[in-house]
Amino acid sequence: MYAKPDSTTMTARVARAGDAMDAALKSLSYPTADAGLPEGVRDLNGMRNDNAPTLVPAPVPVRPVEVAPQPPSAQRVPNEIALGRPSREEAEAAVRTLLRWAGDDPTREGLVDTPARVVKAYDQLFGGYRQDADALLERVFEEVEGYSDVVLVRDIPFYSHCEHHMVPFMGLAHIAYYPTKGVVGLSKLARVVDTFARRLQTQETMTAQIADVIESILKPRGVAVMVEAEHLCMAMRGVQKAGVSTITTQFKGVFKTDPNEQVRFLTLVRNKG
C-alpha cells in the first residue's frame, strides 16, 4: 500500500526541484530587450553585461520639403541676364535664320533691313525686363485731406506677348485699392501694368504680379485687379477663334475677405456712365 509522504518530505522535494531549475537557468544566457543599449544588457538572472557591444541606432531619414520653383515670369525683377545676353549682331543673325526657316530670302530688298527692325522693336516690346515696378510706387502723396475711400483706375490698355508662342495678347486692366498711408500718382499704376505686360507673360501671372507689387509697396487695406484680354495665339493659330475674351481677377485685403467689396469693384468697372 502507498504511503502518503509527510509535509516535511514534500517541502524537501520542492526545494530540490527549485534548486535544479535555478542551476539549469544559470547555465543559459539569453539577450533581453535591453541588448545593444549603452547601459549594457541583462540576462535572465538580472546580471548586467557591460561587455555587450553598443549599437548606434540608425538615423531617421528626414524627407526634404519640396518647394515648387517659380517660373522666371513670376519674378517681379528678373535675374540679371546681362552677362549671358546676346549681342545685337547675334540677335539680328537669329532673325535672319528665322526668315530662312519660314521660307523667305533675308537678302532680298524687302527683308534686308528686317532683322535690325525686329531687334529694335523687341527692345521696346520687351522693355519691361529693364524696369523695376517696386521703384515706380515709392513716391506716395500723403496730403490727400484724409481721403481713405477706394481709388479706381480702369480701362488701362496694354499689349503683351504669350510666353508659350511669343504671339501678342492685348486688352484692358482695371486696378482699385484702399489707401492707408497715402495715394500714388495715377500714371504710376499704368506704368506698373506696362512693366509686367512688356515681358513674356501669361495673363494669370501678370494679374497676380500687379496686385502683389501694389500690396507690398503701398500697404493698402485692399487691392483688386481685373485684366481682360484677347489672345492672338487663340485667334490666329490653333483653334482660330477670334473675339474671345479672357478675364482674370486678383483680390487682396478687404476685397478678398468681403464679397460686398468685390461687388462694388465689379460694379464700378462695368458702370461706364
**Active site members:** 162-165, 203, 231, 233
Cell of 28: 543559459
CB 218 within 8 A of CB 179: yes
CA 115, 116, 119: angle at the middle one, nearest 5? 85
User: What's the sign of the alpha-carbon dihedral 10, 16, 22, 27?
Assistant: negative
Rounded CA gap, 249 and 245, in Å? Answer: 13
3-state class (DSSP) for residue 102 = helix
252 CB-near residues (< 8 Å, 6+ apart):
211, 215, 222, 223, 224
CA distances for 190 relative to 155, 158, 196, 229, angstroms: 10, 9, 10, 16
Give bridge partners of residue 252 from the DSSP assignment: 223
* Residue closest to 157 by CA, chosen among 200, 184, 194: 194
Rounded CA gap, 181 and 175, in Å? Answer: 18
Give bridge partners of residue 231 from the DSSP assignment: 169
